[in-house]
Structure 1
Amino acid sequence: MARKNVLITGCSSGIGMALAVKMAKDEQERFKVYATMRNLAKKDPLEEAAGHSLGKTLEIKQLDVCDEQSIKTCVNSIPDRRIDVLVSNAGMGLIGPIECQTIDEMKTVMDTNFFGLVRLLKEILPDMKKRKSGHIVIISSVMGIQGILFNDVYAASKFAVEGFCESLAIQALKFKLQLSLIEPGPVVTEFERKVFEDGMKMDLSAADEETADMFTNIYLKNYKQIFQSLGQSAEEVAEHTVKIILAENPPFRHQTNTLYTPMTTLKYADPNGDLPIDIFYKMVFHHDKIFSASLNFIKLLRWRSRKSFDLGKSSSQ
C-alpha cells in the first residue's frame, strides 16, 4: 500500500499536533504527514512529540491559512503537489458579548475559520479533481450545528463551514472525492485555555450590567465545569479522526463526543427550532442547579463514552 500524503493545518498544539503525531507514528507507516503551522517558532513541542518520526514520516512546514501565497508555497514544496488527505484544522475562537467585540476581531475569526478553509481548497481541490482521488477532512464543531450562548461569532464561522461543505460535498461526489466534517464538543486544549483567558480579560464596559453579569457569573463560571465534565482530550479527537480517514465509506458528519449528541439532536427534533433554544434557556436561567448536578453526574459516567463508536471495517487500500 502506497503511503498517503496528509497535509494538516494548525499543528503547533491541540488537535492538529495530536493528529499529526498519531498519523506519523502509525505502525503500518501508511501516512507521510506534512504538519503545518503559521509560526514555525512554535514547532518545538511538535518536534519533541514526533520523536523518531520527525524527518521520516513527518515533516513540519510553514502555512498560514490567511495567506494565499503561503498556502501555494507549502503545496508546491510537496512532491508532485500530491495531497491525498487534507485536514483543515487551523482555527481561532472568540467568546463574549458582541457589544464588547470589534468588527475587526469578528472578521479575523471568519477569515481564519471559514476563508482559511476556502483558500486551502482553492489551491488543493483542482489537483484532487484531476486525480479523481482525495479526502477532505474538516475539523468543525458541534457549534456548526447549534449555537451556544456567548459563542455567537465562533458559531457563525462554523455554521459557514458546514453550509459550504454541504454544498461542496455534492460536487465532490462527481469527482469521487470524500468529504468529512469532524464535530467535537468541548476539547481540553491550549486553544480552549486561551479562549477562556481572553474571555476573563475582556473589557465588558460596552455591555449593559445584566449582560456583563450573565457572561461573568453564568457563562465563565460554568466554563471550566463544562469542560471537565464533557471535555475530550485532543488525543481522543485525533483517534476519531484517524478512524474516519481509514473508513471504507467515511461519513459526511461525525460527532466525536457521544455525551454531547443529545444536545445537538434537539435541533432535529423540532423543525421550528424552538425546542433547543427553550431547553438551553431553561437550563441556564431556571434550572442552573440541576444543570450543575447533571454535569457532575456525567463526569462519573465518562468512562462509558471512551471507545464508544465503531465505524466498521477500515480501508486497507
Structure 2
Amino acid sequence: MDQKVVLITGCSSGIGLSLAVRIAKDEKKRFMVYATMRNLSKGELLVKAAGRTLGRSLEIKQLDVCDEKSIKACVDSLPERRVDILISNAGMGLIGPIECQTIEEMKTVMDTNFFGLVRLLKEILPDMKARKSGHIVVISSVMGIQGILFNDIYAASKFAVEGFCESLAIQALRFNLKISLIEPGPVVTEFEHKVYEEGMKTDLSKVDKLTADLFTNIYLKNYNQIFSSLGQTPEDIAEHTHKIITMDNPPFRHQTNTLYTPMTTLKYADPHGDLPIDIFYKMVFEHDKVFNASLNFLKLLRWRSRKSFTLDKPQS
C-alpha cells in the first residue's frame, strides 16, 4: 500500500512536534511526514525526537503560513505536489485586556491562526479537489466553541477557523474530501508557557483598575492551576489526531479532553447563549472557592486517568 503524504505546520515544538513524531512512527508505516516550521534553525528538538524516522518516514521543510511564496515553494518541493493529509497546526496566542493590545498584535494573531489556514488551503485544496481525495485536519481549540475570559482575540481567531471549516465542509463532501477539527482544551506546552510569560509583562496602565485586578489576581493567578488540573500533554493530542487520520469516517469535530467537554456542552444546552456566560461568571466571581475546589478535584481525576488513558487502535 502506498504511503499517504502528511504535511504538518508548526513542528518546531509542542503539539506540532509530537504530531510529526507520532505519525512518522506509525506502526504500520502508512505515512510519509513532511514536518514544517517557519524557522529551520529551531528544528533541533524535532531532529532529536524523530530519531531513526528522520530521512525515512519524516523530512523537515521550511514553511511560513504567513507567506504565500513560502507555502508554494514547500508544496512544489513535494513529489507531484501531492498532499493526502494536511494538518494545520501553526498558531500563536494572545491573552490580556484588549485595551492593552494593539491592533497590529491582534492582526498578527488572526493572520497566523486564521489566514494561515486559508493560505494553505488556497495552495493545496485545488489538487485535492482534482484527485477527489484528501483529509484536512485543523488543530483548533475548545475556544473556537466557547469564549474564555481575557482570550478575546485568540478565541475570535479560532471561532473564525471553525466557521470557515464548517462552511467549507459542505463543499468538501462534493469532492469526497474530509475535514476534521481537533479541539483540545488546555495543553501543557512551551507555547502556553510563552503566552503566560508575555501576559505577565502586559502593561496595564492603559486599563481601569478593576480590569487590571481581574486580569492579575483572577486570570493569571488561576492560569497555572487550570493547566495543571485540566491540561493534556502534546503527546495526548498527537495520539487523538493519529486516531482521527486512520479512521475510515473521521468526525468533523473531535474534542480531546473529556474533563473539559461539560463546559463546552453548556453552549448547546441554551439556544439563547446566556447559560454558559452566567455559569462562567458565577464560577469565577461569585463561587471562587467552589471553582478552586473543582479544579483540585479535576486534577485528581486527571492524575488517576493518565495511567488508564488509551485510544482504541485500528485492528490489524
- Specify the TM-score bucket, using the shorter chain as the normaliser: over 0.9
Structure 1 residues 306 and 270, CA, compared in 2 at 3 Å: closer, same or farther?
Answer: farther
Q: In structure 1, what is the equivalent of residue 9 of structure 2? A: 9
Alignment of 1:1-317 (within 5 A): 1-302=1-302, 303-304=304-305, 314=314
SS at match of 1:17: helix
Q: Deviations over 1:101-145 (max 9, x none)?
A: 000000000000000000000000000000000000000000000
CA contact (8 A) 1:109 1:153 kept: yes
Q: What's the offset of the Cα at 1:309?
A: 7.2
Q: TM-score, normalised by structure 1?
A: 0.97
Whichever residue aligns with residue 26 of structure 2, its letter is D
Q: What's the offset of the Cα at 1:305?
A: 6.8
Matched residues in 2 for 1:66 and 1:195: separation?
Answer: 20
CA contact (8 A) 1:246 1:315 kept: no
CA contact (8 A) 2:179 2:252 kept: yes
More displaced stretch, 212-221 vs 295-304: 295-304
CA contact (8 A) 1:96 1:151 kept: yes
Aligned residues: 315
Q: Deviations over 1:205-244 (max 9, x none)?
A: 1010000010000000000000000000000000000000
Matched residues in 1 for 2:141 and 2:193: separation?
Answer: 17
Structure 1 residues 68 and 315, CA, compared in 2 at 3 Å: closer, same or farther?
Answer: farther
Residue ranges of structure 2 left out of the alignment (5+ in a row): none
Matched residues in 2 for 1:315 and 1:211: separation?
Answer: 53
SS at match of 2:205: coil
SS at match of 1:74: helix
SS at match of 2:138: strand
Percent of aligned pairs with the same amino acid: 77
Structure 1 residues 180 and 146, CA, compared in 2 at 3 Å: closer, same or farther?
Answer: same
Residue ranges of structure 1 left out of the alignment (5+ in a row): none
Q: What's the offset of the Cα at 1:27?
A: 2.1
Matched residues in 2 for 1:9 and 1:306: separation?
Answer: 30
Kindly report the root-mean-square deviation, in angstroms, between the aligned alpha carbons of the 2 structures. 1.3
Matched residues in 2 for 1:128 and 1:95: separation?
Answer: 36
SS at match of 2:35: strand
Q: What's the offset of the Cα at 1:308?
A: 5.6
Structure 1 residues 96 and 88, CA, compared in 2 at 3 Å: closer, same or farther?
Answer: same
More displaced stretch, 88-97 vs 20-29: 20-29
Matched residues in 2 for 1:269 and 1:314: separation?
Answer: 33
Q: Deviations over 1:152-191 (max 9, x none)?
A: 0000000000000000000000000000000000000011
Q: What's the offset of the Cα at 1:307?
A: 5.8
